[in-house]
């Protein structure tokens, strides 16, 4: 019997005997069990035998896990044996990844992938699509779809309303559709994909194609590595249609309130000018991490005679050839906009207030993502689904330890590049513990640029650099606190976005926003991610302290992967499956 089979058998025996201490004793003192909905009906990481025992004490009775087995031969490297596993619970089927060291568990990922009796109709269970024979009352697929569209939200209550119709809502909507959960997606823009189309015209995805697939339909093999924004917009529009989503474009959600007696939301929307009240059980805010602009208030904004706008409203460079442009900020949007303005023949200055983490796109692809998301990874059998689970299996608590050496390698490989940037005065950082881009993203969702060319322009002095805080605007200039005056025909505020519970305050109430607390971040006690340690991303894809309110979003990878667990949580509630939540998150910060 292999180490892994032995471990799984002992684990199974302990769990069947309700011996939670015995099961916990199979884990190392430093160990991590990350559960995605299978045991906890939550996204939850427990650490070390005593937390594991407590979690099992609370969850084992209703979970009743059985049938633990490997799904392919385990792999051993550097003293760690890694095994793909599967199991069943009373209500569903799960998979995961187990890492053993010296016969004991170091990390365990358990992830629910389907509910028993509510499996997706796919593969051998796919819908037939046709009813053979003669039927004078035959209803075609199109008629059926039209009837659904006419009724849902009018004479039939949706189970779920998703506020916002970006890629997050669209992927989640597709999963809910496959699970038979009646859902309406409300998007204030006219068409699916418009949130990408409306961004500045030079924008291409910063992440490569292997990282970006949506659920169910992968990009074709000839899809570009970095998708131009309008192309991704068209893909989302196509996807929304073929996945049969009830997508209400030109629909603004005005307000929402929760009725605890009826356990339903009242959602006031305006659809193409018409006021409609929706009464879903579940409300998902998928309004985007990067959609509520953080616009600074600066003295003199009212007297400035040129154009000024937040980066999200930047129309592109065409009108600014030969003009003086000042871009406030030094992260992704600032760099992209500066480069496009320079290409159009503008005179561009970037104002850097604090240090920025920069990685070159190619280097990031090779060193940071290549093992999991690349053509090579695909060729080595690392499917998107496997890559997502491997990534999910690395505990957040120690993720930075895996990241630091990668970023050390990047710093070494591109030393010349960084030296040149520092020589012109660009202030660089690598995250507070040197763990680089992905940790910054998980912790604060900002503070970096993936270099696709703008840094060379900065290093060459083609994009000019200024430092410090803006003191005021005058009619024709930006003045910095150190007295530097930058003449300007255009000022772009590339100053980022606000936290997502701001949306709960805006649409529901400040009370609910405060009940739920800050969204995003891990509690790493680094800039913009205050402690205490949370263990998971705050409030994302899991139950919140407001009944029946959920947050969904993140980059394409996160939206794809975590939409599965959110969809299963929503489906289980619709079907009346018991969903006792273990370890509901405490609220430590309001925003
Ligand atoms: C410049 C830039 C580059 C980026 N590059 C990448 C990248 O390469 N890869 C990546 O994965 N991510 C990237 N991101 C992050 C990107 O924002 C997200 O991946 C993506 O847009 C998130 O999708 P979403 O559905 O969560 O939110 P969004 O796309 O922001 O969608 C939210 C939607 O909610 C709608 N909405 C808000 N309020 C209401 C209301 N009251 N009623 C109705 N509708 C409402 C908005 O109109 C919007 O369409 C980038 C972001 C920016 C700003």
pLDDT in tens, 529-555: 999 999 999 999 999 999 999 999 999
pLDDT in tens, 276-303: 999 999 999 999 987 788 999 999 999 9
CA distances from 254 to 79, 190, 247 (A): 56, 16, 17
The backbone torsions φ and ψ at residue 109, rounded to the nearest 5 degrees and listed phi first, read -110, 125
Confirm if 52 and 46 have CB atoms less than 8 A apart.
yes
Longest dimension (CA), the chain: 84
Count Cβ atoms below 10 Å from residue 386 Cβ, excluding itself.
15
| Any atom of ligand 1 within 6 Å of the Cβ of 186 | yes
pLDDT at 333 over 80: yes
**Distance in Å, CA 449 to ligand 1 centroid:** 17
Average pLDDT of the residues in 395-423: 96
CA distances from 129 to 132, 134, 144, 562 (A): 10, 15, 12, 29
The backbone torsions φ and ψ at residue 302, rounded to the nearest 5 degrees and listed phi first, read -80, -20
b/e map of 255-264 (b: 16 or more CB within 10 Å)? ebebeeeeeb
In 3D space, the residue among 585, 583, 567 whose CA is nearest the CA of residue 515 turns out to be 585
pLDDT at 2 over 90: no
Average pLDDT of the residues in 457-483: 97
Separation of alpha carbons 453 and 338, rounded Å = 11
pLDDT in tens, 551-560: 999 999 999 9
Residue-level pLDDT at 1: 78
Confirm if 463 and 330 have CB atoms less than 8 A apart.
no
Residue in the block written with tokens 């358990």? 110
pLDDT at 336 over 80: yes
pLDDT at 199 over 90: no
Residue-level pLDDT at 149: 96
- Predicted TM-score (pTM) of the model is 0.95
What are the tokens at 55? 């979690």
Average pLDDT of the residues in 553-574: 97
| Any atom of ligand 1 within 6 Å of the Cβ of 455 | no
| Any atom of ligand 1 within 6 Å of the Cβ of 188 | yes
pLDDT at 202 over 90: no
Residue-level pLDDT at 227: 95
What are the tokens at 268? 């006031």
Separation of alpha carbons 455 and 463, rounded Å = 9
More confident residue, 498 or 527: 527
Separation of alpha carbons 28 and 102, rounded Å = 9
**Distance in Å, CA 578 to ligand 1 centroid:** 33
Give me the percent of the chain exceeding a pLDDT of 70: 100
| Any atom of ligand 1 within 6 Å of the Cβ of 555 | yes
Residue-level pLDDT at 21: 98
The backbone torsions φ and ψ at residue 412, rounded to the nearest 5 degrees and listed phi first, read -70, -50
pLDDT in tens, 501-512: 889 999 999 999
Residue-level pLDDT at 412: 96
Separation of alpha carbons 401 and 82, rounded Å = 18
What are the tokens at 589? 């910060």
What does the radius of gyration of the chain's CA atoms come to, in whole angstroms?
25
Residue-level pLDDT at 206: 86
Report the DSSP beta bridge partners of residue 134: none
What average pLDDT is seen over the chain?
A: 96
Average pLDDT of the residues in 136-150: 94
Confirm if 95 and 82 have CB atoms less than 8 A apart.
no
Confirm if 36 and 565 have CB atoms less than 8 A apart.
yes
pLDDT at 352 over 80: yes
pLDDT band, very low/low/confident/very high, at 89 (cuts 50, 70, 90): very high
Pocket test for ligand 1, best of 251, 285, 291, 437 (most atoms within 8 A of CB): 291
**Distance in Å, CA 290 to ligand 1 centroid:** 5
pLDDT at 572 over 90: yes
Angle at 127 between CA 223 and CA 173, to 5 degrees: 55
In 3D space, the residue among 173, 175, 72, 172 whose CA is nearest the CA of residue 119 turns out to be 175
| Any atom of ligand 1 within 6 Å of the Cβ of 558 | no
């Amino acid at each position: 019997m292999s180490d892994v089979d032995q471990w799984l058998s002992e684990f199974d025996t302990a769990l069947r005997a309700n011996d939670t201490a015995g099961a916990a004793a199979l884990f190392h003192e430093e160990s991590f069990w990350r559960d995605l909905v299978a045991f906890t009906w939550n996204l939850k990481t427990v650490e070390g035998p005593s937390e594991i025992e407590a979690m099992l004490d609370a969850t084992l009775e209703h979970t009743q896990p059985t049938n633990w087995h490997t799904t392919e031969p385990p792999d051993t490297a550097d003293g760690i044996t890694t095994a793909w596993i599967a199991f069943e619970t009373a209500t569903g089927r799960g998979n995961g990844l187990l890492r053993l060291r010296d016969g004991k568990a170091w990390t365990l990922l358990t992830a629910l992938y389907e509910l028993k009796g509510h499996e997706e109709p796919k593969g051998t269970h796919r819908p037939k699509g046709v009813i053979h024979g003669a039927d004078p009352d035959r209803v075609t697929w199109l008629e059926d779809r039209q009837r659904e569209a006419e009724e849902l939200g009018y004479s039939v209550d949706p189970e779920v309303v998703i506020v916002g119709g970006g890629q997050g809502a669209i992927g989640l909507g597709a999963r809910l559709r496959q699970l038979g959960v009646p859902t309406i997606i409300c998007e204030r823009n006219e068409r699916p994909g418009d949130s990408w189309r409306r961004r500045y015209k030079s924008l291409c995805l910063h992440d490569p194609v292997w990282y970006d697939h949506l659920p169910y339909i992968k990009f074709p093999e000839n899809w570009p590595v970095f998708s131009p924004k309008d192309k991704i917009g068209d893909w989302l529009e196509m996807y929304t249609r073929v996945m049969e989503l009830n997508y209400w474009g030109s629909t603004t959600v005005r307000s929402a309130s929760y009725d605890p007696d009826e356990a339903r939301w009242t959602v006031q929307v305006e659809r193409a000018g018409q006021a409609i009240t929706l009464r879903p059980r579940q409300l998902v805010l998928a309004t985007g991490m990067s959609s509520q602009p953080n616009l600074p208030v600066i003295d003199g904004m009212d007297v400035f005679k040129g154009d000024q706008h937040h980066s999200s409203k930047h129309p592109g460079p065409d009108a600014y050839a030969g003009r003086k442009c000042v871009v406030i900020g030094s992260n992704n949007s600032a760099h992209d906009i500066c480069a496009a303005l320079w290409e159009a023949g503008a005179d561009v200055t970037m104002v850097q207030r604090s240090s920025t983490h920069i990685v070159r796109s190619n280097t990031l692809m090779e060193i940071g993502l290549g093992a999991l998301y690349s053509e090579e990874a695909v060729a080595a059998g690392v499917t998107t689904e496997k890559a997502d689970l491997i990534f999910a299996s690395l505990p957040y608590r120690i993720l930075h330890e895996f990241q630091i050496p990668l970023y050390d390698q990047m710093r070494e490989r591109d030393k010349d590049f960084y030296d040149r940037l520092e020589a012109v005065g660009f202030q660089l950082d690598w995250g507070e513990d040197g763990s680089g881009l992905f940790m910054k993203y998980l912790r604060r969702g900002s503070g970096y640029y993936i270099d696709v060319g703008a840094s060379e322009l900065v290093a060459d002095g083609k994009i000019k650099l200024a430092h410090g805080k803006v003191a005021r605007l005058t009619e024709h200039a930006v003045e910095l606190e150190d007295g530097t005056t930058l003449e300007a025909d255009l000022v772009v505020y590339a100053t980022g976005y606000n936290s997502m519970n701001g949306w709960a305050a805006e649409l529901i109430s400040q009370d609910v926003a405060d009940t739920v607390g800050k969204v995003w971040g891990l509690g790493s006690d680094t800039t913009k991610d205050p402690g205490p340690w949370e263990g998971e991303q705050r409030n994302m894809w899991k139950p919140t302290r407001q009944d029946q309110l959920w947050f969904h979003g993140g980059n394409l990878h996160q939206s794809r992967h975590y939409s599965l667990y959110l969809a299963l949580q929503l489906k289980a509630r619709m079907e009346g499956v018991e969903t006792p939540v273990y370890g509901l998150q405490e609220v430590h910060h309001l925003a």
